[in-house]
Structure 1
Amino acid sequence: MWEWQWTIYTLFLLLAAATMGVVAVGAWQKRDVPGSTAFLLLIGAMMLWAVTYGLQIAGATEGTKLFWANANHIAVAAVPIAWIGFALQFTGRDHLLTPRTLGTLSVVPTAYLVLVWTNPRHELIRQTFGIKSVNDGSLLLIDQAFGLAFWVHAAYGYALMAAGAVLFAQLFVWAPKVYRRQVGLLLLGAVVPMAANLAFHTDLYVPSNFDLTPFSFVATGVLFFAAIYHYQLLDLVPIARETVVDTLSEGIIVIDSQQQIVDINDAAATILKLDGDAVIGTSVHQTLPEIVTETEPSEDRSTVSSEISCEIDATPRKLAVTKTPLVDVNGNLIGRTMTLRDVTEKRSLEAALSAQLDEVMAVNRELETFTTAISHDLRQPARTTERYIDRVRRSEPELSAENDEILAVAQTNAERMQTMLSDLLEYSRIERNDDQFEPVSLAAVVDQATTSLRFSIEETDTTVSVGELPTVSGIEHQLVRLFQNLISNAIRYSGPAPPVISVEATTTETEHVLTVTDAGVGIDPDELEYVFELFTRGQHAEQTPGTGAGLALCKKIVEQHGGSVDIESTLGEGTTVIVRLPKRE
């Protein structure tokens, strides 16, 4: 039968377990986050340690104390395994935590627990000499001496705890400030019980058989509580260096203050055709002489970007290199990082594109020169023809009907040639220039267009209704020309009835949709696909003046603004021209 005695120490240990329980609640709420599973096992093992040790020192007989001492060793064996598992998961190395790894790590603790529960047969864990009273009889402790198996497991447990601490320390060095606070609290929370346990096993205090390790869990619980509830532990989980650096498409090289390569990621090794492991520890000036020059100041703290030409495997390459100073937490310069990007293909494509663009520009200049020359050379004969016709009419006032008709046709053809040459010249001079783009009020644009067409509108008794129009990004004089042509076309092809024209607009998330609608003669459906071609005239065009260049000019203006234009028309009912302009800030 178990026998008990009252001791304040047991109550304190139950308080420590309760503190860890509060931490466990916070971890349970985030149990889907990487690292939470091992963290919960760690907290659970610490709670078990505190409770079983509390019951051990509350026992009044040797049998009671030995049972709970054996139960206590379950937690002693579980804490190092949970700690290293948590460290691997939290630092992004959970791929190392395979079932085989866990099985291997658990071999020593499993054998240890078997020896714990069979200790009376071999005494490899402990030798007991009864119970001794300390503190004037207020505390009963097992008088014991630990055996070889105990110390082997202790060394194993300390090794796992130290390995986990190293992983967290490495994370602490490179992690941002918020992660440093988390990791710092975790490290401190682990170091406190480790220090208490070391002090216990090295007899640094009395009574020597009184283990202070579970008592330190109160401090650990407070530190872990702050990490979870104040610094977002398990909410913001850092990613391991291997996950971040080695998966970057850009090359990263780290150089220390002695100008030695201390780290290189896979991308940099691939770009430079190097063996990453082989170059670590070598001088950067010897390994990469074309990238790093001997004259670079070692104390330079500026970030420098440049583009260099070099040969890699006897192949000319171009690399974009950014050199950034690397400082420690105290702001001391400890080295540099170099970011590398292979821009060889990009620069080659840019050069080819530039050459093609220069060629296109040269052709355009030749075409403009040609168009200007042709327009000038052809206008003179047309003007001469008009002057001769006028001279004939003045010298021969009484022409026959046939001769008068011949002169009228010649006059019309000469005037048409002049108009076509003007339209051709204007069409060739429409070009895109983003530097001229500015906010343009379409309401003001349509007002200018209708003002310039005032006489045509009055003579034909035209009605132009204008809805609410947006402000767009464009070139104002080109947009005025656009609406002049659209409204003029609508008037010209209105039929016998007075023209009725409406200008409307709607705006979506990506574009402005403008419509110019008339109730005129319409266009034959078979001709709709050709109406935007230069000098193409639609149905009934033979009955009205014009060159057929108006809609071609409209299409070119819209395309220079990055938009598109469509047309919908029905013979005898009217036409709608739809202009779409991209919405820009």
Structure 2
Amino acid sequence: MSWWQFIYFFLAFASAGMSGWLAYFGWRRRRSESGLAFMLFACALTIWSFFYAFEISSNSPATKLTLSKLMYFGIVAVAPSWFIFALYYTGNSHWITRRRLVGIWVIPLLILCLVLTNDWHHLHWRELLYSTDEQLGFLRGDVQYGASFWLHTLYAYVLMLMATALLARVALNAVRHQQRQASLILISVFIPWASNIIYVTRTNPLGGLDITPMAFTVAGALIGWVLVRFRALENIPIARETIIEGLADGILLLDCDHFILDINRAACELCQLEDVLGESIEQALYQYPKLLQLYHQLLKSKQSSDEITLRDGVILNVAVSTIYNYIGDPAGYLLILHDITQRKQAEEKIARHVAELRTLREIDARISESLDITAVLDTALTSAVQMTRATAGFITLIEEEGQRLVQAHGHYKTLPLGELFPKHFGIVGRVIRTGKAEFVQDVTADADYYVDVQDTCSEMVVPLIAHEKIIG
């Protein structure tokens, strides 16, 4: 191995090591999508630089060709992974769907297949000749590129150009601290751009040596420093763990196509959901058609929230808001589910107490206005039926011969007032014997129940007591 060959081998191998560290850096921040994308980008650089180092050090044409093919496992992944990282980093993750991700990787996989099978069709390298460079003292290749090479170059340049445009947009329009981050990353992007253009146009003073992987590694190192310095890949995961997961309210984050990007534990428990990330809201909430309908209604209307009762009796306050990115474009939607069941139950309980107090006041006022026992009993019975939401009721007074019907409401109005009933008959008779009020939820299961009104489900019997004696 010549001295120059060793220097280039060392630089390429050092680039592989640096890229490997960047991949580990991304892996440590894999909780965020941008961290995963950055890890994939760094892994691609590692593969490219690693095999390129050994390709430089080899003096065998067959070995060089094999290593050149292996390099493409990393080469084809650099531009797509960088573009995906730029989308996540600039807040455009709503654009990324499963279908689009598959589309991004179709051409790189096709190029990789063409490279591995180049000996059959020569679509990538039409001609590849190796000769010893007398100045540098090691074997270098003279390549005639084919159609697939230029297709890959064009595709990679388009992706890199779009990623650069996204970063430039942030650098020009974002808030101050994001502008600094995006500007530094934007500057780093031009390093591999320049080196690759020099290599493709064959204006490299070093001949056929490709310094693009080393340039990408330098750019990656600068980007890594920016991400560490500004903690750009850590703020979102930490905020999610400490805030979103800690909320008692259910939170669903959706993209512009209404696919679920994130969901917290409270939302999963409220709606009994599991593994719904990436699904559309229609798929995830198909068991709750009313909730889906309300979600779309709130999006279309100016109303920000409304209430809904689920099938299991849970009452939710549903709020929907649109999320905007750094330049004011819609980036997704936030669906918030607030369980207000206990609050509603407390409100109903208070309302019942207020109604009871109002009823007692009305009875007191009626007694004060008139000493007519019939009017007083009618007011008391009507109020009791209304408070208990019953469909019928009656009042009897106990005499020596039995209990006499003195007031009736609902179905019992068909019974003649003044009619005498046995004193110890049915559930009423049992209450007279024990002196304790009873509420029987299912009268058909009570052995003492006497069918006096058809279709009766439940019955409440309360003794009337005066001077410690049951009078009715």
Higher CA-based Rg = 1
What's the TM-score, normalizing by structure 1?
0.39
What's the TM-score, normalizing by structure 2?
0.48
